[in-house]
Chain A
């Protein structure tokens, strides 16, 4: 009995996964617990384990292919088993077709020469050839310059596809401008008849459109995406899962949560002193050194206790605001591929030493992309620190479904007025971004004031 392996949901926010590497070849035996492949999710690269034993009969998708959760990616079963019904059902995006599919019947007769991949006969461009199977790739709904769907007969679409022709370049002569066979054929004819024209400079290509190498002289008014020097114009890079997630979640946050920003300048002179003392002790006792950021984590964690709306989530679908009973602080960590926010659970209940040790360990594993989903999910509040880059202050985008994020700037030497005299001081600016749906201005300000007092009276952090 063949067992289909589908793309698993490996994180709360995962919608699709990229198969980054196959670790088992087709035909190899696997047992339960073996790692079949590595899957890149929006957050991390994770192992895909086999839950059954058998032979990996088929890798349905190739390395680098992205498929949505639930899509068939492999089949395990007994050697020689006919899996054509499983594999044929897979609505692959052409990835499966990229590799020649061995005839299941031919697998047993391995003495015979390798089966010829089934080559689809070259379809007649005019459409009046033999009936062949429908082309597997879905034809995207093309749109014209104004974004309206281009109307074309199925046959016209097919011929255009066979000739790598963008329908946007073809004028339709049918009802309501429908592009029909004769229009596409006339266009192709004109294209073939025309001498290779001098490329004319064209507007910047939109990155998502395929550049067409031949500018179209017969319809000059049609937008052409050719670039005279396109190779030099950019280097292309596939959008990674992580980048897609950052794009999706932060855009969603910025346009659904009405942000506003509160900045406060904190006197950190005493906190610096306390930290130095603590680290002296830490060194003597062989404990982890405490960073200034750990102070801020602790200050936020304690403050959140007194300000439940800042430690909340706006849940319009449920018609509720969830005020979290526990305090889990996400700390944004920059990594090569993007950023990730490991979560310190119950940060309000942990001592500075413990926070320091845990934060460091999580950050390290985050950089290695080795975090388990539960280590980067479930934050109730987030901090982001760019102080180490000399950023004095900045505003951060709220990490949904949090209702606030604290953006931390550098600690700077600055002249301050004390008792009517200008003296050197140590100051740090932090900016709280609040979701106005949950946190009104006064509530945000009160929270920030609490954070400020913890940091300015740092002994309170130790109590």
Chain B
């Protein structure tokens, strides 16, 4: 195991895949000369040359569409959005063309493309730069949505995403790029899409959380342990397809579930998990399923409000105690 930053793990994934397959290229704003806005692609221009690491103009709709066309013609593009807030400018390409092309062409065209970049709030960025997009994209049939929480998962899942013959939305986080964790040194390390990770085992309450929220869940689990409760923490890692079996298995054991999702709550990933769990494990629930989410408002700018806005460990502990009837 090597200790790597999240950005380095992602870079290793792209580099290894591009070395393996000449059809893969990286395109996005500032990915080449500037080494990437968050230095994820640092050094890749030198390594692969400007044919395969391409600075795009500030034109998300254009370069996302270019990527889809390239994918339909046999290449395997990685399209970096500087942040997923800007993917909205390319919405038609991402949600309409990429996921529907295989279906609309009767299977004549694959679209093996990865849209990647940071997603979600990252401090004082204001409402328009703090969007969480996982619920939006996972609502679209034909898109896979991956959202890792630790560098090791980031590497293994990004490699799998690049190899996938269908479009994958790969959601990272500005706040986690500098996070250092152990990453497998196994050669050709991949993690299948659609498999959750049980990060911590416990019998008393299940907490499901992805991306940054996963770390909140782990903090909350420690606090709960001090109070005598063992939380089981599950990181779905992939939002779609969702590994609901692992979650249901855990709820059958603990009979309680709290879902953390930093998106706004209405029609969120947390809503979907809640629905699926009540559908499959109704008779095993001893308490209503509770969620920890952002409120249903635009993200604020003021730091004190932003602290209130984002899900936190304290709120998670409170909700766990509520479903444990321990208040």
Contact = CB atoms under 8 A, between A and B. Distances in A.
Interface of A: 127-131, 134-135, 153-158, 173-175, 180-182
Contact of A154 (B280, B284, B325): B284
Nearest to B248: A131
A155 B282 CA distance: 8
Contacts of B283: 127, 134-135, 154-155, 157-158
B324 to A, nearest CB: 10
Contact of A128 (B252, B285, B287): B252
24 contacts: A127-B252, A127-B255, A128-B203, A128-B253, A130-B252, A131-B280, A131-B281, A131-B284, A153-B286, A153-B287, A154-B282, A154-B285, A155-B283, A155-B284, A155-B286, A156-B286, A158-B284, A173-B325, A174-B287, A175-B325, A180-B286, A180-B287, A180-B325, A181-B286
Contacts of B255: 127-128, 153, 155, 181
A131 B248 CA distance: 8
Contacts of B203: 128
A129 B283 CA distance: 12
B254 interface: yes
Interface in B150-203: 203
Contacts of B248: 131
Contacts of B287: 153, 174, 180
Interface size class of B (residues with CB under 8 A): 10 to 19
A182 B323 CA distance: 12
Given A154-B285, A155-B286, A131 B325 contact: no
Given A153-B287, A158-B284, 18 more contacts: A127-B284, A128-B203, A131-B248, A131-B280, A134-B283, A135-B283, A153-B286, A154-B282, A154-B283, A154-B284, A154-B286, A155-B284, A155-B285, A156-B286, A158-B283, A175-B325, A180-B286, A180-B287
Contacts of A154: 282-286
Grouping DSSP codes into helix (H, G, I), strand (E, B) and loop, the B interface class, with mixed when no group exceeds half, is helix
Nearest to B288: A153
A136 B255 CA distance: 20
B21 interface: no
A413 B253 CA distance: 83
Given A173-B325, A180-B325, A182-B325, A127 B286 contact: yes
B225 interface: no
Nearest to A179: B286
A131 B246 CA distance: 11
Nearest to B282: A154
Most buried by B among A131, A134, A158, A181: A131
Most buried by A among B248, B249, B282, B287: B287
A174 B287 CA distance: 9
A163 B252 CA distance: 19
Contacts of B253: 128
Interface string B267-288: 0000000000000111111110
B252 A153 contact: no
B221 to A, nearest CB: 18
A8 to B, nearest CB: 34
Contacts of B284: 127, 131, 154-155, 158
B213 to A, nearest CB: 25
Nearest to A135: B283
Contacts of A128: 203, 252-255
Contacts of B280: 131
Nearest to B285: A154
Most buried by A among B248, B280, B284: B284
A158 B282 CA distance: 10
